[in-house]
């Protein structure tokens, strides 16, 4: 199975840190955010990884290389200065992702999610990992009922940025800039989107405050031991 790590974003909310460094290379406990994802994928047996790049993407390629130091194979889908958004970035990278289901994950999440927990067989073309709502998204994104992801429901959860897609999911999409959310909403409306609820540790490291909070909590744990 292939995996794609989304790493092309400008990281506006993380400025000024991202003025000179791409957000995926910001560090938690001395390790770049994207490295946590690469190592987690490797531990699940995923060795073919595509990373899309944009803002300061040359730094990512320099730091990560071809993946030799992680015992994986990394190839890059460079979007340059014309960032294609999530769906557009995936569509551009499809030729690199094989003919079957592939994992997509955000580079800027910090989580202990085990990718082995994703289903090995799917009866859908897209599958989302949902988490409990963080303080910055208390209304949630989707409901989950009997393994089906719905737009509305009694209890809504937050999309974690971790998912499985089959290339068929994007068959009617044209190349170019495109958001993923409308495609997911349409799939949920058609009752063709599956999902699972992950209740472990997960943080969207989207702001300097969240980055500082995580590093501080880790430092506090170390000091107690």
> Predicted confidence band at 222 (pLDDT cuts at 50, 70, 90)?
low
pLDDT at residue 225, rounded to an integer? 52
Cβ density class 21-59: b for 16+ within 10 Å, e for less: bbbbbbebeeebbbbbbbebbbebebbbbbbbbbbbbee
Tell me how crowded residue 99 is: count the other CB atoms within 10 A of its CB: 10
Reported as a pLDDT band with limits 50, 70 and 90, residue 55 is confident
Kindly report, residue by residue over 137-173, the tens digit of the pLDDT: 999 999 999 999 999 999 999 999 999 999 999 999 9
Is 143 part of any domain?
A: no
Instruction: Please state, in angstroms and as integers, the Cα–Cα distance from residue 225 to each residue in 7, 22, 222, following that order.
Output: 34, 32, 5
- Whether the predicted pLDDT of 178 surpasses 80: yes
- The total number of structural domains in the chain stands at 1
CA distance 138 to 152: 15
> Is the pLDDT score of 177 beyond 70?
yes
In a domain, 152, yes or no: no
Q: What is the average per-residue pLDDT within 180-191? A: 97
pLDDT tens for each residue of 56-85: 999 999 999 999 999 999 999 999 988 999
pTM of the model: 0.95
Per-residue pLDDT at 204 exceeds 90: yes
Cβ–Cβ < 8 Å for 9, 55 = yes
**Coil vs helix vs strand at 45:** coil
Asked if residue 36 has pLDDT above 60, the reply is yes
- Whether the pLDDT of residue 221 is over 80: the answer is no
Domain that holds residue 67: 2-133+159-224
Structural domain contains residue 186: yes
- Between the alpha carbon of residue 178 and those of residues 6, 116, 168, 182, the distances in Å are 14, 29, 16, 9
Domain assignment present for residue 153? The answer is no
In this structure, what CATH number is given to the domain that contains residue 211? 3.90.550.10
Q: Does residue 7 form part of some domain?
A: yes
User: 35 vs 16, 132, 215, CA distance in Å?
Assistant: 21, 24, 16
H/E run at residue 46: none
Residue 26 confidence (pLDDT): 95
Residue 89 belongs to a domain = yes
């Amino acid at each position: 199975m292939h995996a794609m790590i989304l790493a092309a974003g400008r990281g506006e909310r993380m400025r000024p840190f991202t003025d000179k460094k791409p957000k995926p290379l910001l560090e938690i406990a001395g390790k770049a955010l994207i490295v946590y994802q690469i190592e987690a994928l490797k531990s699940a047996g995923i060795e073919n990884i595509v990373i899309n790049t944009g803002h300061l993407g040359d730094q990512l390629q320099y730091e990560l290389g071809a993946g030799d130091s992680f015992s994986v194979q990394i190839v890059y889908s460079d979007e340059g200065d014309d960032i294609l958004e999530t769906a557009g970035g995936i569509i551009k990278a499809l030729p690199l992702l094989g003919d079957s289901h592939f994992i997509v994950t955000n580079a800027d999440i910090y989580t202990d999610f085990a990718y082995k927990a994703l289903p090995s067989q799917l009866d859908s073309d897209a599958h989302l990992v949902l988490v409990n709502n963080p303080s910055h998204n208390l209304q949630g994104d989707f409901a989950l009922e009997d393994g089906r992801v719905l737009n509305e429901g009694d209890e809504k959860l937050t999309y974690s940025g971790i998912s499985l897609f089959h290339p068929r999911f994007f068959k009617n999409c044209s190349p170019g800039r495109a958001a993923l959310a409308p495609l997911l909403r349409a799939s949920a409306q058609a009752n063709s989107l599956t999902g699972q609820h992950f209740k472990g540790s997960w943080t969207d490291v989207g702001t300097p405050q969240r980055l500082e909070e995580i590093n501080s909590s880790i430092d506090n744990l170390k000091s107690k031991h």
